């Protein structure tokens, strides 16, 4: 139900925009100490956010939406459609594939295992998975921080986005098959020498989880994260192809200009698994990242390890399965990006976890859509003070393959 005191809703053909504030669904958790507390953040520029979402749709996404949890209020904004066939409007409660945001979940499980003294971050991966990797110098820390040098097999798998996707849409891989694809190629750097984003790293993370616990990653995600945080919209259904419940369909932009987008909603995501196969909602992701930075999922020592960042570019740093984005107003936010066929997601929270944003576009393989969605962070965390200025935003890359997607 739209609050009349906050905004009005408009329907123009198939495009729907709604923006409103409602009481948060739960009282704020105890706040952890940290710089730039949420009380010092400017009010979110919800008008600016809605404008960004309209622009995402104008760039070619069927729909775009965002949810801000600001501690005492929840702001929701949605534009466009969830399904090109039925023309159903996209809503902020729709579930979707989160792509590489899965990496943060995998990292959390492994850091919990460190807390349980079942794993050492600076131990070789081969200590736990004997003979898996060709270099005993590759440590668990290297894997979780993308500094292992392991080649990203998705570079080859998705060299052609649409045909590559159709070739694996219904396939089921073992972890070992995916790692073997990587090991056929030379490593990108010596262990620890440089940051190089690779899905292979978090396939190895999944193997570690299953070896050390004796359970599937699904069981560990559920028991350690989904259930304790009451993430009722979040699931890991691999190798099933369907998204449970009400969800947004995802559309893969064709490689050939003018061709119709491909409905990529149904897929095993077996090519990613522990690197990118979780399904969730904006509410659940806001809850997850807020809880993480507040120390609700790991010890303070493990969270500090997670937040030991390596600079990636002028605006972005990477820790252990966690990104930090430095915004134009001097505020840093923490979370991850996600790209999987049909979906782009940004999910970030403030240092103290009091303000969280999850933004989605149900499209992929479009640099215009991806780079526009990235600008949702500025109005949400920097407010109107930057509305009249153009903030510097790094060129975004897809997580499913580091090469830039097709310009359109």
**Strand locations in 270-380 (E):** 279-280, 310-311, 316-318, 323-326, 332-340, 343-350, 356-361, 363-364
Q: Given 18, 100, 182, 350, which residue is catalytic?
A: 100
Whether 100 sits among the annotated catalytic residues: the reply is yes
Taking CA atoms, 300 is separated from 32, 297, 305, in Å, by 10, 9, 9
Intra-chain end-to-end CA distance of the chain, in Å: 36
Q: How far is CA 77 from the centre of its chain?
A: 19
Nearest-10 crossing angle of helices 102-115, 282-293: 30
CB–CB of 275/203 below 8 Å? Answer: yes
**Residue 357, strand partner residues:** 68, 348
199-213 vs 175-183: helix axis angle to the nearest 10?
Answer: 140
Q: Specify the DSSP class assigned to residue 391.
A: P
| Cα 204 from chain centre | 18
Task: Report residue 124 CA to chain centroid gap.
Answer: 27
Spatial separation of the C-alpha atoms in residues 336 and 334, rounded to whole Å? 7
- Separation of alpha carbons 44 and 355, rounded Å: 9
Q: Which helix or strand (DSSP H or E) is residue 178 part of?
A: helix 175-183
Q: Which residue has the tokens 């005492």?
A: 72
The H helix count followed by the E strand count for the chain is 13, 15
CA dist 64 and 52 (Å) reads 9
Q: Which residue has tokens 């798998």?
A: 157
Distance CA 169, CA 192 (A): 33
- Active-site annotation, residues: 100
């Amino acid at each position: 139900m739209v609050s009349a005191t906050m905004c009005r809703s408009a329907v123009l053909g198939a495009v729907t925009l709604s923006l409103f504030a409602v009481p948060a669904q739960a009282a704020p958790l105890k706040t952890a100490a940290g710089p730039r507390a949420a009380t010092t953040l400017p009010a979110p520029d919800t008008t600016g956010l809605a404008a960004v979402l309209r622009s995402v749709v104008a760039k070619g996404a069927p729909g775009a939406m965002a949810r801000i949890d600001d501690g005492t209020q929840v702001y929701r904004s949605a534009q466009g459609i969830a399904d090109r066939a039925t023309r159903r409007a996209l809503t902020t409660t729709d579930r979707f594939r989160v792509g590489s945001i899965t990496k943060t979940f995998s990292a959390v499980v492994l850091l919990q295992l460190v807390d349980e003294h079942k794993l050492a971050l600076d131990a070789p991966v081969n200590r736990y998975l004997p003979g898996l990797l060709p270099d005993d110098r590759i440590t668990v820390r290297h894997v979780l921080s993308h500094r292992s040098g392991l080649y990203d097999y998705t570079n080859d798998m998705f060299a052609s986005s649409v045909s590559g996707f159709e070739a694996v849409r219904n396939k089921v891989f073992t972890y070992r098959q995916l790692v073997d694809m990587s090991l056929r190629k030379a490593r990108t750097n010596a262990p620890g020498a440089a940051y190089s984003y690779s899905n292979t790293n978090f396939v190895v993370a999944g193997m570690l989880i299953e070896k050390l616990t004796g359970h599937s990653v699904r069981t560990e995600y559920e028991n350690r994260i989904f259930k304790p945080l009451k993430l009722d919209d979040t699931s890991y259904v691999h190798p099933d192809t369907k998204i449970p419940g009400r969800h947004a369909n995802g559309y893969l932009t064709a490689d050939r200009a003018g061709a119709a987008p491909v409905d990529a909603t149904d897929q095993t995501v077996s090519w990613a698994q522990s690197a990118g196969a979780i399904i969730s909602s904006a509410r659940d992701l806001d809850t997850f990242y807020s809880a993480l930075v507040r120390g609700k999922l790991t010890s303070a020592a493990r969270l500090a390890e997670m937040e030991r960042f390596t600079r990636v570019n002028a605006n972005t740093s990477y820790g252990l399965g966690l990104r930090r984005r430095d915004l134009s107003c001097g505020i840093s936010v923490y979370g991850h990006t996600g790209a999987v066929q049909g979906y782009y997601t940004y999910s970030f929270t403030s240092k103290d976890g009091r303000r969280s944003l999850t933004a989605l576009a149900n499209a992929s393989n479009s640099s215009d859509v991806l780079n526009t969605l990235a600008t949702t962070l500025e109005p949400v965390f920097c407010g109107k003070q930057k509305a009249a200025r153009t903030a510097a935003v790094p060129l975004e890359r897809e997580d499913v393959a580091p090469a830039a997607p097709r310009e359109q």
